[in-house]
Amino acid sequence: MSEQTGSEDTVIRVRGLNKRFKDHVVHEGLDLDVRRGEIIGIVGGSGTGKSVLLQQIVGLLKPDAGQIEVLGQSVRDTSDAEYRALRRRWGVMFQDGALFSSLTVRQNVEAPMREQLEISDALRETMAGIKVRMVGLPENAHGKYPSELSGGMRKRAGFARSIALDPEIVFLDEPTAGLDPIGAAAFDTLIRQLQTALGLTVFLVTHDLDSLHAICDRVAVLAEKKVLAVGTMEEMLEIDHPWVKEYFQGPRARAAVGAAASGLA
Amino acid sequence: MQAGQDKGRTAPQASLRSQDQVIILSGDLVIETIETLDGEFGDATGIDISDVAHLDTAGAWYLLQLRQQVSDTSHEIAIRGASAPQRQLLETVRQNMPPEEALDERPVTLFDRLEEIGRTVVGGLHIAIEMIGFLGQVIATIASLVFHPRRLRMTSLVHHMQEVGLKAVPIVALMAFLIGIVLAFQGSAQLRQFGAEVFVVDLIAISILRELGILLTAIIVAGRSGSAFTAAIGSMKMREEVDAMRTLGLDPIEILVVPRVLALVLILPVLGFIADLTGLIGGALMSWIELGVSPAVFQSRLVANTDVWHFAVGMIKAPFFALIIGIIGCYEGLKVGGDAESLGRLTSTSVVLAIFMVIVVDAVFSVFFALVGV
């Protein structure tokens, strides 16, 4: 976890990915590389297949063609045992947390440990408690059920569950969607903090321009059925494509740039 | 678990370097392996982790625990040899360590149990009162619809009559037919011992018309439609559709509850009538096969010996059963909260409660009709 064997090595490699739903082509010849230890933001208009890409990488959806390698292993052409072992090395946080509604917050975080590890109950409870505290949930939230939590707290609990097994990669699907600006900013900070503390690679599907400015090392733009451009935020501003220009230089984007700049000052 | 069982994990080692009292750790300090370490150390002057290959959150927690254990009270010893990311991890875990003493749970006493029983009883009473209030609200709404008949949702009413009525006909008819057969078969076996086979007609007629036809129909409808009411209204409640209706000035009781309850009240007597009919047919058929009572004899005995009140008693009960099923189904649906679990729980509550109440009310009716002498 802690050691980094060269900052440039690729943990997710997608090559020539094709995906269609009946007549609707979502991805055609999509390539993407994610490097170890970075926070990559995936942006794109509605319906460009950001979540579909995420679901294919973690193996929930089967691509029609193309290769997906995570941590040097193919996600598709592996034995069940290898896939299970691979799955332990990543965590996924779904949009609304996707917590198990019949379990408390703490039990939700314990669930992956219970399934994947053979450890004592005491250690599991302690570690789940630490993870729940790490994502900034108050002490009285540990025993609450998901329905008793606010949207922001559910997202935090979902994040705690995704890091329950100390993964190398976490996939976050719209972590700040539906949060107020203060809550969203706090969540951004949390992602950055835990990313450095746990040495995570973060695959961040987002719409939030503020998140992109605040925490993403690189941004990948999904458009025209493929990854149109990858690079830092500064590089995005150089790209001459109508949608990219509109997205990164529109009025809301300028506000976000201003906010990021004043934050630095 | 065994150390080194996981592929690629080296079992961690801990030892005390005697010259300077430093604990040396090596190997992988990760969640699968830390429980294999059982070092009891006395006082030490430091912990060295420069030989540790992997360190995860659990490993960091272990180190912090170990430090607390071996430090004397006055000052904390240092953890040396951590790389920059490892130091950051240790710091993050240190800030999120569990509180010193866990809240110890108070043992459950007799008083706690008594209090729990009391709370359950009071809770049950509250639900009963609320439900009666809801019944009143629905009846008031229906009454106001009598004066403003245009506000009654006819499409919805007809739709629900089809759903709970027409579509339930095959199952209700088959059930009653089989009950008729069973009654004739079992009844004839007993009555034959007294040479009173022909009384099987009275047995079938009275039990089906008076009790079984409508009771079993109500139970099937409670399982079929009561649960559907709860699930449909409950999922609308979950997706805030009910709240949306209220903000638009629409009354959920008028739109959701009244058509369902009214449909049931109108259609359950019809279903009960169908059940009576097929039950008698099943009984007649079995009497013919088993006892040689021809349909003509069955019919004449039925008409001559069975008071029409038996049929009336069954039919009188039908609308009351319908009201119970409809009110409970809709009430539980409106009680669904934001989570999927409450939907499932309340759906099953609605069915169980409706069937229970139907049987209770049936018993009350039995006593009532016995007292008035029909």
Question: Which residues of chain B have a CB within 8 Å of the CB of A120?
Answer: 35
Does B92 lie at the interface with A, CB-CB under 8 angstroms? yes
pLDDT at B3: 37
Given a contact cutoff of 8 angstroms between Cβ atoms, the answer to whether A204 and A175 are in contact is: yes
Nearest CA in chain B to A135: B96
Backbone φ and ψ for A58, nearest 5 degrees, come out as: -85, 0
CA distance B32 to chain A (A): 7
Residue ranges of chain A assigned to CATH 3.40.50.300: 1-81+169-174+188-265
Candidates A2, A135, A161, A191: best to mutate against B (most CBs of B within 10 A) is A2
Residue B112 confidence (pLDDT) above 80: yes
Nearest to B61 among A1, A117, A126 (CB): A126
Whether the pLDDT of residue B20 is over 80: the answer is no
Residue B89 has a pLDDT of: 84
Residues of A in contact with B34 (CB under 8 A): 123
Contacts of A102 in chain B (CB under 8 A): 341
Whether the Cβ atoms of residue B203 and residue B305 lie closer than 8 Å to each other: no
Say how many Å lie between the first and final Cα of chain B, rounded. Answer: 75
Angle at A170 between CA B62 and CA B36, to 5 degrees: 25
pLDDT at A120 over 80: yes
> Residues B146-155: what's their mean pLDDT?
89
Residues 286-305 of B with CB under 8 A from A: none
Angle, CA B171 vertex, CA B355 and CA B282 arms, to 5°: 105
Least confident piece of the model among A164-173, A229-238, B128-137, B255-264? A229-238
Cα–Cα dist B230/A187, whole Å: 38
Which of A73-82, B254-263, B312-321 bottoms out in mean pLDDT, i.e. has the lowest? Answer: A73-82
Which pLDDT does position A246 carry in this prediction?
83
Q: What is the pLDDT of residue B92?
A: 84
Distance (Å, whole) CA A179 – CA B181: 64
Q: Is B155 on the interface with A (CB under 8 A)?
A: no
Tokens representing A265 are: 């000052």
Please check the confidence at residue A247 and state whether its pLDDT lies above 90: no
pLDDT above 50 for B38: yes
pLDDT at A7 > cutoff 50: no
Predicted pLDDT of residue A195: 87
Q: Cβ A4–B342 below 8 Å, yes or no? A: no
How far is A191 from chain B, CA to nearest CA, in Å?
13
Span B256-289, pLDDT tens digits: 999 999 999 999 999 999 999 999 999 999 999 9
Q: Which residues in chain B have Cβ-Cβ distances shorter than 8 Å to A136?
A: none
Q: Which of A130, A194, A196 sits opposite B97 (nearest CB)?
A: A130
Distance of CA A120 to the CA centre of its chain: 30
Handedness of CA B205, B208, B211, B213 (dihedral sign): negative
Cβ neighbours for B205, distance < 8 A, ≥ 6 positions apart: B280, B283, B302, B305, B306, B310
Going by the DSSP 8-state scheme, the letter that residue A47 receives in this structure is T
Please answer yes or no on whether A119 and B55 come within 8 Å at the CB atom: no
- Domains of chain B in start order, with CATH, are 13-95 (3.30.750.24), 122-372 (no CATH)
Listing DSSP states for B185-232 in one string gives HHHHHHHGGGT-GGGHHHHHHHIIIIIIHHHHHHHHHIIIIIHHHHHH
Give the tokens for residue B209: 């018309």
Nearest residue, CB atoms, A146 vs list B57, B86, B339: B339
Q: Which of B270, B367, B322 is nearest to B135 (CA)?
A: B322
The per-residue pLDDT of chain A, averaged, comes to 84
pLDDT at position A1:
40
Q: A123 and B340: CB-CB below 8 Å? A: no
Residue B175 has pLDDT above 80, yes or no: yes
The dihedrals phi and psi of B239, each to the nearest 5 degrees, come to -90, 15
Asked if the Cβ–Cβ distance from B85 to A129 is below 8 Å, we say no
Q: What burial class does residue B206 get, using C-beta atoms within 10 Å of its C-beta: 0-12 exposed, 13-18 middle, 19+ buried?
A: middle
Query: Strand pairing of B13-17 and A73-74?
Result: unpaired
Looking at this predicted complex, what is its ipTM?
A: 0.78
Residue B329's pLDDT is 96
- What pLDDT score was predicted for residue B327? 96
Give the pLDDT band of residue B318 (cuts 50, 70, 90). very high
Residue of B nearest to A197 (CA): B89
How would you classify the pairing of strands A226-231 and B13-17?
A: unpaired
pLDDT of residue B5: 40
**From the list B31, B97, B98, which residue is nearest A166 (CB)?**
B31
First to last CA, chain A: 33
**Residue B138 near residue B261 (C-beta atoms within 8 A):** yes
**Are residues B85 and A118, on separate chains, in Cβ contact within 8 Å?**
no
Instruction: Kindly tell me the burial class for residue B338, based on how many C-beta atoms sit within 10 Å of its own C-beta (0-12, 13-18, 19 or more).
Output: middle
* Cβ-Cβ contacts under 8 Å, B91 against chain A: 197
Across chain B, where does the E strand assignment appear? 13-17, 22-29, 46-55, 78-80
Q: Is A101 helix (H, G, I), strand (E, B) or coil?
A: coil
Among the partner residues B35, B83, B86, nearest to A123 by beta-carbon distance: B35
Q: Which of A93, A94, A87 is nearest to A116 (CA)?
A: A87
- Of A127, A147, A166, nearest to B339 by CB-CB distance is A147
Between A171 and B70, where is the model more confident?
A171
Residues of B with CB below 8 A from A79's CB? none
Q: Describe the crossing of helices B213-221 and B308-334 by its angle, rounded to 10 degrees.
A: 10
pLDDT at A4: 41
By the 10 Å C-beta count (0-12 exposed, 13-18 middle, 19+ buried), A73 is classed as middle
Residue B4 confidence (pLDDT): 37
* Nearest chain B residue to A194, by CA: B92
CB of B91 within 8 Å of a chain A CB? The answer is yes
Q: Which residue of A has its CA nearest to B87?
A: A197
- Work out the pLDDT band at A5, boundaries 50, 70, 90: very low
Provide the number of CB pairs (under 8 Å) joining chain A to chain B: 84
Please indicate if any CB of chain A lies within 8 Å of the CB of B58.
Answer: yes
Collapse the DSSP code of B23 into the 3-class scheme (helix H, G, I; strand E, B; otherwise coil) and give the result: strand
Whether the per-residue pLDDT at B98 is higher than 50: the answer is yes
Mean pLDDT, range B329-352, rounded to an integer = 90
The residues, any chain, with a CB within 8 Å of residue B5's CB and separated by 6 or more, are B32
Q: What pLDDT is recorded for position B74?
A: 67
- pLDDT(B87) > 90: no
Q: Considering only CB atoms, which chain B residues are within 8 Å of A193?
A: 92
- Is the pLDDT reported for residue A248 higher than 90? no
Mean pLDDT, chain B, whole residue set: 88
Closest residue to B56, CB basis, from A1, A134, A193: A1
Per-residue confidence band for A96, with pLDDT thresholds at 50, 70 and 90: confident
Does A166 contact B91 at a Cβ distance shorter than 8 Å? no
Stretch B167-181: mean pLDDT, rounded? 96
Nearest chain B residue to A190 by CA: give it.
B92
- Please state, for a pLDDT cut of 70, what percent of chain B lies above it: 95
- CATH number, span A1-81+169-174+188-265: 3.40.50.300
To the nearest whole Å, the CA of B231 is away from the closest chain A CA by 17
- The answer to whether the CB atoms of A4 and B91 lie below 8 A apart is no
Nearest to A147 among B1, B83, B337 (CB): B337
- The residue-averaged pLDDT of A126-153 equals 86
Report chain A residues touching chain B, CB-CB < 8 A.
Answer: 1-4, 85, 101-102, 113, 117-120, 123, 126-127, 129-131, 133-134, 139, 145-147, 165-166, 193-194, 196-199
pLDDT for the residue A121: 85
Q: How confident is the model at residue A101, as a pLDDT? A: 82
Work out the average pLDDT over B189-197: 87
Model pLDDT, residue B126: 95
Instruction: Give the mean model confidence (pLDDT) for residues B30-47.
Output: 77
Band of pLDDT at residue A226, cut at 50, 70 and 90: confident
| pLDDT (average), residues B20-39 | 80
B21 touches chain A (CB under 8 A): no
Question: What pLDDT is recorded for position B334?
Answer: 93
Interface test with A, best of B5, B28, B55, B56 (most A CBs within 10 A): B56
Q: Sorting pLDDT into bands at 50, 70 and 90, what band is B8? A: low
List the single range of B155-159, B209-213, B324-328, B340-344 with lowest mean pLDDT.
B340-344
- Can you give the pLDDT at residue B95? 83
Percent of chain A exceeding pLDDT 90 equals: 5
